[in-house]
Structure 1
Amino acid sequence: MVLRSSEITIIGGGIVGLSTALGLLQAGLRVTVLNGADGDFRASQGNFGLIWLQGKGADFAPYAAWTREAVARWPEFARALQELSGVDLALQQSGGFEFFTDPDEFTAFAQSLAQQQAHLGPRFSHEMIDGDTLRRLHPEIGPEVVGASFCPLDGHVNPLRLLTALQRAFVTLGGEIRTGAQVVEIAQAQGGGFDLRLKDGTHLGAPRAVLCAGLGSSTLAAQLGFATRVSPQRGELLITEKLGPRLGFLSSTIRQVDEGGLQIGGTKANVGPDDRETLSEINALARHAVTVLPALADVRVVRAWGALRVMTPDGYPVYARSPQHPGAYLVTCHSGVTLASLHASLLADWIEDSAAAPDLEAFDDHRFALSAAA
């Protein structure tokens, strides 16, 4: 069986794949998305939903600038996506905090934000707030919090609604999503394009292919000559019972979702492909939440889960064209929610190599090939 109706095939039906596909579709291309198996590890279904700038790219100016552009485009992106899909994304972008209980960590993060400020100039603003001042502004903050940073550009969204909205908008505009289409092998086809072999034995043809398969990308990336090998990083989350409007702010580790519950997260563990929750990390999350907000001690936790982030070797996104297989592209990152506004817009210009294409050379895959050679 050969598929030739599409001009470009997206391998991966998560937030990164669908936002990229939507941008290409809106640029006038015929696009098919191959969405893998239900049992695949899916970062899009377990993330925290932040649209976050502070701290991003402090040591890598191109990433700071790319993230700043993404954050700026989110309000219009959300409006257009809601209009297309009929799904309310529950976007709020009124600023966010990073809380600290360790003075040294607070000082170190202040230095990182100063570096980010140097990269972005007037396009970035932030405040460093000491603990006493913070408690005058927010009396509910606990006494062990030594300070916080605040960036007025940060925000959050309902990530599951975002995923649903992308699916609906893509199909509404004429895109095709093939579910259960798990690509296990990709090779150059005779006469041009690519032959994609699925797990069920089906073969699909694709004139061009964009690999956006998250943790499923490494094997296929190697087959296309890419150097990037992504790895999993587990993060664990807690969800509390639904509450009234109890949280007067957003932070990178505690947020009140639109349904009313509090989502508590922030763990990082390099444990391989293991998304099980652990009692020790759940306890640590609960302690952190109560330290920041002591009144949460009487709130019930109703759910907990682990999910796997998609991490490149240096933690930054990869946007690469295959040097060996023209027409093959690799797009991978761990900030798929934040960067969705760019993946659905500017990335299409880069893939099409149009005059309006952004300069993404700093994110090319060859940086890992060079590191290995060194």
Structure 2
Amino acid sequence: MQSDFLIIGGGVVGMAVAYGLARDGQRVSVLDESDDAFRASRGNAGLTWVQGKGLGMPHYAELSLDASLTWPAFAAELEARTAIDIEHECRGGVDLCFDASEAKVRQRDYAKLQLSSRHLAQHFRWEYLDRQALQTYLPGLGESIHGGTWSPHDGHCNPLHLLRALHAACRSLGLEYHASTPVLSLSPCLNGFRAATPDSEFHAERVIVAAGLGARNLAPMLGLSGTVRPVRGQMLVTERMPRVEQLPTPQLRQTATGGYLIGDTHEEVGFDKGVSLEMMSCLADRAVRIYPFLRQARLIRAWGALRIMTPDGAPLYEASSRYPGAYNLNCHSGISLAAFHANELARAIIDDRLEERWSAFSGARFNVPAHC
């Protein structure tokens, strides 16, 4: 039986949209690669974040803000359906500033962003706090930290539990999931689209490319933009430690099990997802600067992962004008935007109104003709 939708990619972006489609009664099949693929969904800090999103692109800031407001209901829905605790908390977050110069730039950028649209002016809340004021939110903060921006919209979750819950929820709704099934080519056919894999072919009325870095090759086959590149992030995790009531930051956060997750690097190194002693040392030094008590903590793991980055850093959502029924979804904020992907974005795709509703995120903004 032919599916209504064929989704290429089983990461957080693809599975969140798949969940929204399947929940609405659509017949969905997902083709995923093997575990040795470049998986951003398994190599991130799990932040559900608003701060810093959309500087220079207010639509992205609005999208991030609205997604954060719907995240609690989305998390509760997933947990009720699957009994998997995704460890979501939304008690606010802090983005640290390490010196006065950084603090000045941050406040200027946020003030400008807040004035860039009526929606942000009314709903985006933030405040710059000096180190002393931050002690309420970040007990144990190091003396050399200048301050940071606080916002009530930020939170975090367990990204591996989120991905597991999305897969479980989709299976309960009848989704067909095909692991270790890399797609070699995509093409239109008489009744929709064909995906060729090493062992077989799959057909569906409509197709969604949510393949992360794989979109570089697959999306142009359907007249869609493949303008994404890898940006490496390295991470460290400490041993489990007593829980402290601290808000998350992009630089580090304590997980539900007690370990501190340390990261926030951006490296242009192509497809190298390894780790380097130099960067691990920098991360450890910064972590100790933030929380001096971590000097005594043992590090138990380090890893690198590749983010998916568009030329301007904002999401890419587009429908093919050359092959109606083909869509391309790509972003590096798959965790933060998961609630939006499962709800509004999935509904826009079902109604075939993706470009109408989210034209600001089309690949056309990169001056790359989507029909070529």
Matched, 1:30 2:27: yes
Q: 1:356 to 1:275 in 2, by over 3 A?
A: closer
Instruction: Note if contact 1:10-1:212 (Cα within 8 Å) is conserved in structure 2.
Output: yes
Matched, 1:97 2:94: yes
Q: Which runs of 5+ in 1 are unaligned?
A: none
Q: In the TM superposition, what whole-angstrom CA distance separates every residue of 1:156-201 from its partner, at most 9, and x where no partner exists?
A: 0000000000000000011111111110111111x23112111x24
Aligned residues: 367
Instruction: Note if contact 1:247-1:255 (Cα within 8 Å) is conserved in structure 2.
Output: no
Identity %: 39
Secondary structure at 1:128's aligned position in 2? strand
Matched, 1:115 2:129: no
Alignment of 1:240-319 (within 5 A): 240-246=238-244, 248-319=246-317
Matched, 1:47 2:35: no
One of 221, 229, 232 as aligned partner of 2:230: 232
Looking at structure 1, the residues matched to 129 and 307 of structure 2 have their Cα atoms a distance apart, in angstroms, of 30
Instruction: Note if contact 1:55-1:116 (Cα within 8 Å) is conserved in structure 2.
Output: no
Instruction: Note if contact 1:347-1:357 (Cα within 8 Å) is conserved in structure 2.
Output: no
Instruction: Note if contact 1:318-1:363 (Cα within 8 Å) is conserved in structure 2.
Output: yes
Partner of 1:62: 59
Instruction: Give 1:103 shift.
Output: 1.6
Instruction: Give 1:352 shift.
Output: 2.1
Looking at structure 2, the residues matched to 302 and 136 of structure 1 have their Cα atoms a distance apart, in angstroms, of 29
One of 195, 207, 224 as aligned partner of 2:205: 207
Matched, 1:15 2:12: yes
Looking at structure 1, the residues matched to 206 and 137 of structure 2 have their Cα atoms a distance apart, in angstroms, of 54
Partner of 2:321: 323
Q: In the TM superposition, what whole-angstrom CA distance separates every residue of 1:329-365 from its partner, at most 9, and x where no partner exists?
A: 0001000001000110111221123689972010011
Partner of 1:151: 151
Q: 1:131 to 1:173 in 2, by over 3 A?
A: same
Partner of 2:365: 367
Looking at structure 2, the residues matched to 91 and 270 of structure 1 have their Cα atoms a distance apart, in angstroms, of 30
- My pick for the range that moved more, 361-370 or 69-78, is 361-370
Looking at structure 1, the residues matched to 195 and 13 of structure 2 have their Cα atoms a distance apart, in angstroms, of 20
Q: 1:182 to 1:83 in 2, by over 3 A?
A: same
Matched, 1:168 2:165: no
Partner of 1:87: 84
Output the aligned Cα RMSD: 1.8
Looking at structure 1, the residues matched to 259 and 356 of structure 2 have their Cα atoms a distance apart, in angstroms, of 39
Q: 1:52 to 1:77 in 2, by over 3 A?
A: same
Partner of 1:187: 187
Instruction: Give 1:275 shift.
Output: 0.5
Q: In the TM superposition, what whole-angstrom CA distance separates every residue of 1:77-105 from its partner, at most 9, and x where no partner exists?
A: 00000111110011110011111212211
Looking at structure 1, the residues matched to 77 and 247 of structure 2 have their Cα atoms a distance apart, in angstroms, of 26
Looking at structure 1, the residues matched to 293 and 224 of structure 2 have their Cα atoms a distance apart, in angstroms, of 50
Instruction: Give 1:325 shift.
Output: 1.0
Partner of 1:345: 343
Q: In the TM superposition, what whole-angstrom CA distance separates every residue of 1:248-293 from its partner, at most 9, and x where no partner exists?
A: 2211111011111000001110101110011011000011111111
Q: 1:326 to 1:260 in 2, by over 3 A?
A: same
Secondary structure at 2:367's aligned position in 1? helix
Return the TM-score normalized by structure 2.
0.95
Q: Which runs of 5+ in 2 are unaligned?
A: none
Secondary structure at 2:307's aligned position in 1? strand
One of 70, 77, 80 as aligned partner of 1:73: 70
- My pick for the range that moved more, 271-280 or 53-62, is 53-62
Instruction: Give 1:369 shift.
Output: 3.0
Instruction: Note if contact 1:319-1:331 (Cα within 8 Å) is conserved in structure 2.
Output: yes
